[in-house]
Amino acid sequence: MSTPDLILTGATVLTVDDAGTVAEAVAVTDGIITAVGTTEEIAALAGPGTKRVDLSGRTVVPGFVDAHSHVSMGAPYVKHAALQTPPVGDTRTVADVLRKLHEAKDRNAPEPGGYVIGWGYFPDQMDDGGLITAEMLDAEFPDHRVVLVNVSGHGGVVNTRVLEDAGYVPGVANPDGGTIVRLPGTDVPSGELWEQAWMPLVFSLLDYGEAELEAMLREYARWGMTTVQDGAASIKQIEQVRAAAEQGRLPVDVRSLVIYNELDEAIESGIVGTTSHGHTVQGVKLIIDGSPQGRTAFVTQEYETGGPGGEQHWHGLANIEQGDANSLVETAYRHGVQVFAHCNGDAAVDRLLDAHRAAVAAGATPTGRTVPIHSQVMRHDQLDDYVELGFEPSMFTIHTYLFGDIHIKNFGEDRAFAISPMRSAIDKGLRPTNHSDFPITPINPLVLLWTSVARTSLSGVVLGQGERVTPLEGLRALTIDAAYEHRTEDDRGSIEVGKLADLAVLDANPLEVPVDAIKDIAVVRTFKRGATVHDAS
């Protein structure tokens, strides 16, 4: 073995290998892990040119893999108004929202007619109910277009200029798969839009430049992430990330999913499946339904609180009809494209299962592991379907914390307590992952890990004690199992000889601290291929 470029010693090294090995030190050569062992063993390998880092008892884990997030949604939001409620942000009232929008307008100085944008808006958890209408936004911003992106990403509130741009005038019908909320007792749009009434607008606003992309990826590195997913990207956005990769500007690896309505074009271009300088076009993203906190997730048993527009006997919304889902999945399978599908509700999961079976019956063979993303308000019999069909779910346990109390209201305790059933999935032999879905929820993987172990809501309710996992299982969901889901387990996800030296240094051991202390663990340093991409030490 050649002399290592870098050795890390004096640590607790959680390798997350199959044996659960705990070591003390790691050696790295040319960005690859070349030895794992005791401090004495690894120190003996050092030569005159070896960089030595004594970690003084800190903990080393594999670089975190965000199984699902949105680089191309998060990047343009960096400069806009962040409107999250506690504990993520400090927005509590409508006055807070309007103040932050004005600050963003002053900071970004859009031209008359340009956009003022806020994101993370969540009226359900605001002290005053958070009701904002187009009329209110018109009065505050008479010269601009205004968009408030709901924390779910699946809806929001806009002003009259934006409504008129979309043709949403009094009396207009809801688009298929979408809801235009009306002012009470009228047919006048209030400004609140959901799903297919909203999606074309929000995707049109996701332009960003080199600086925003780089700032976004540095934020992932700050949290110990070394591989991240861009979970619904246009071909234009994929080309932007590829260009940055080929210029050597990616501090972390990015794995892009092409948005489903551009699948044919992406296949024809030949870009799907290609890799260059840390950027891979991993597969296709289907968005089958909406969000549970936004009451648009597609469920078989109706919501207890009705729909976002006051609808009764409400089952949410499907963005893709069954026939279209069948066609998309078959096309992907026939062209060797891995399928990732946003499925928050059990009816959406059924739609994906049916599409898979139809594709296989037509002679199409799936590539890799088909991934139902979120798998939240699902039935346990569907886990058996996952096992049978070779699916691997990516779950979203931070919902139990940030939105758990809302889910109890929307679905009742039985369904809410079964959201993101990681324990049940593991017990059936599946390898569920966990994800941030940033910018929907924060990137911080230690909070994600804590939520999978604690499953405690903001008010202190435990959402399904029987679905709690162990800290090691939670760590695996954010490392080796996430790599497995992406079919990259051979070169990342654990600290083993021959794998990439993608490492995160923590100030405490998540397997040993009290459960509620896991969320407070800090990322001290992040190594990507042996190079430091974040250092807070």
Does the global pTM surpass 0.75?
yes
Among candidate residues 16, 17, 47, 55, the one with its CA nearest the CA of residue 532: 55
* Residue spans in the chain of domains classed CATH 3.10.310.70: 79-204
The pLDDT score that the predictor gives to residue 186 is 95
What angle, rounded to 10 degrees, do the helices at 380-389 and 346-361 form?
20
**For range 280-295, the mean pLDDT:** 97
pLDDT band at 1 (very low <50, low <70, confident <90, very high): low
Share of the chain above pLDDT 70, in %: 100
Is residue 28 classed as helix, strand or coil in its secondary structure? strand
pLDDT digits (tens, 9 = 90+) for 500-537: 999 999 999 999 999 999 999 999 999 999 999 999 98
Region of poorest pLDDT, from 143-152, 203-212, 433-442: 203-212
Range(s) of the chain covered by CATH 3.20.20.140:
288-432+452-469
The reported pLDDT for the residue numbered 202 is: 84
CATH architecture of residue range(s) 79-204: Roll (3.10)
Q: pLDDT tens digit string along 299-344?
A: 999 999 999 989 999 999 999 999 999 999 999 999 999 999 999 9
Judged by DSSP in three states, 461 sits in coil
As given in the structure block, the two tokens for residue 176 are 């298929």
Mean pLDDT over the full length of the chain: 96
Q: Mean pLDDT over residues 407-414, rounded? A: 97
Query: Phi and psi at residue 427, in whole multiples of 5°?
Result: -65, -25
Question: pLDDT at position 204, please?
Answer: 86
Q: How confident is the model at residue 205 (pLDDT cuts 50, 70, 90)?
A: confident
Q: Which tokens sit at 11?
A: 């640590």
For the segment 450-467, the average pLDDT, to the nearest whole number, is: 98
- Domain at 288-432+452-469: CATH code: 3.20.20.140
Q: What is the pLDDT of residue 377?
A: 97
Give residue 95's pLDDT band: very low, low, confident or very high (50, 70, 90). very high
Tens digit of pLDDT for each residue in 367-377? Answer: 889 999 999 99
Neighbours of 148 (CB within 10 A): 25
Segments of 144-265 assigned E as strands: 145-150, 155-158, 178-182, 189-195, 225-233, 253-259
Peptide bond before residue 184 is cis, with ω within 30 degrees of 0: no
Task: Please answer whether residues 113 and 145 qualify as being in contact, where contact means their C-beta atoms are separated by less than 8 angstroms.
Answer: yes
Contact 25/488 with Cβ under 8 angstroms? Answer: no
